[in-house]
Amino acid sequence: MNNYQIPYGKTKIKFSVPNSFQIQVLAPAPIAPVADATRAVVDALDHPLGDFRFEDLARARSVVIAINDKTRPVPLALLLPPLLQKLARVGIPDSAITLMIGVGTHAPMPRAEFGAVVPAGILARYRVVSHDCDDAALNIFLGETKRRTRVLCNREYARADLRIALGDIEPHQFMGFSGGVKSAAVGVTARETIAQNHALMMEPNAYQGRYDDNPARQDCEEIGKIIGVHCALNSVIDEHKQIVGVFAGDPVAVMRVGAPLALDVYRVNVTAPFDLMIVSAGGHPKDINVYQAQKAVGHSIPVTKPGGTIVWVAACPEGAGSKLYEEYVAQFSSHEAVIEHFKSAPFQLGKHKAWQIARDATQARLLMVTELPPDLARKLLLPRVESLNAALAIALRDLPRDARVGIMPVGNVTVPVLRDA
């Protein structure tokens, strides 16, 4: 037997697989983290990419920095202090700076939870607010993209003299990559804007690891240009949340350098599809709820045989992650019914998550190892199994001795690519 472990919430689960199978661990590349993360951030800020320079905006009377919420493992404790120090060095006072938590369509973060995202010393010193995509009074119309996405952005962010987006660059299942303008273009815009952009996930090239020809990503870039995001500060982190690269400056220039590095970390070559895929979302916070953890299944489907089995390991301590998703899928008794209804109805965020899971669950047998209560799992049409060992007992029972078994520890960001042997 071969022994392995896979992330689950804030812990790891150990398991074994008979060595008669052809086993491949689809793990990120072991690229060394930067020797001194703080120094790397300072260097990136002192040598920004593209035509952006902090000194050109030294007279800014208002600065808003869009940051991610608790569902993203962005190393804010490493990124924020050097950024705030840089702003101070060019003459911008603390009182002019606001940190805006870009929740996208997630629920606004209550002030009591800000400490889960923003380091305590910064929270005590700077103004911090949470965006709310459904508060019409917060958002202002700025224009329309070529793909007819109406850009409604948080008024305070849009009117700031200096607009910064902070986050990670990592593969994304339909946006191609996170990073660049995305923390603002999705994080601090209205639900209407996000829904119109995310509807482009139905296009063929809206796929993980694609950038230039990805309609969702390029629409996102245009949203960022309409908003006028001046600067992005982005890290690329490994599976252990250590920084392997950090870039600052013009958002598109940052993506041009950061996206290839993210692919170097997370792209894995596969010679043939797998009979069984054991996939984790990557542990906390990537498996904080079903809404986030689903990405792991989406990333594993392209290298799982049609009719194969996916054992999906995702704690989901905060449940479904979307009330609309939960209520929508509860209407149906099968994934096929979800697909049939979704394709004939107008695109709506929340409901799209039910469609994504149904799309994958109709291509492979899905077994879910999770903390979801049994009643909620049934409501979401998710086949909950009590333990990973129990799931493997089911999955391995009918496999031939030479079956291909894949193990993907950080499925939310891994990009498996089929290559000829």
122 pLDDT exceeds 90?
yes
Same domain, 109 and 199: yes
Q: What is the mean pLDDT of residues 24-44?
A: 96
318 pLDDT exceeds 60?
yes
Going by pLDDT thresholds of 50, 70 and 90, the confidence category of residue 420 is low
Nearest Cα neighbor of 23 from 420, 281, 403, 311 is: 403
**Whole-number pLDDT of residue 401:** 85
Mean pLDDT over all residues of the chain?
A: 95
Same domain, 117 and 78: yes
Instruction: Say which residue the tokens 């983290």 belong to.
Output: 33
Q: What are the DSSP calls for 73-133, one per residue?
A: ---HHHHHHHHHHHHHHTT--GGGEEEEEE-TTSPPPPGGGGGGTS-HHHHHHSEEEE--T
pTM of the model: 0.90
In this structure, what token pair is assigned to residue 38?
Answer: 């703080």
Q: What is the mean pLDDT of residues 11-25?
A: 95
Same domain, 17 and 62: no
Q: Helices (H) and strands (E) in the chain — how many of each?
A: 14, 20
Domain final position from 265, 280, 306: 265
Q: What is the mean pLDDT of residues 397-407?
A: 92
Going by pLDDT thresholds of 50, 70 and 90, the confidence category of residue 73 is confident
Same domain, 50 and 183: yes
Same domain, 295 and 199: no
Domain final position from 225, 249, 265: 265
Q: Are 270 and 418 in contact (CB under 8 A)?
A: yes
Same domain, 236 and 180: yes
Q: Is 232 exposed, middle or buried (0-12, 13-18, 19+ CB in 10 A)?
A: buried
CATH of the domain at 293: 3.90.226.30
**Whole-number pLDDT of residue 98:** 98
Q: What is the pLDDT of residues 358-399, one digit of tens each?
A: 999 999 999 999 999 999 999 999 999 999 999 999 999 989
Domain final position from 244, 265, 286: 265
Q: What is the mean pLDDT of residues 187-194?
A: 97
Domain of 294 in residue numbering reads as 2-28+271-418
- Report the number of distinct structural domains present in the chain: 2
Portion of the chain with pLDDT greater than 70, in percent: 100
152 pLDDT exceeds 70?
yes
Same domain, 382 and 411: yes
Same domain, 138 and 276: no
Same domain, 186 and 47: yes
Same domain, 290 and 166: no
421 pLDDT exceeds 80?
no
Same domain, 201 and 140: yes
Same domain, 246 and 304: no
CATH of the domain at 104: 3.40.50.11440
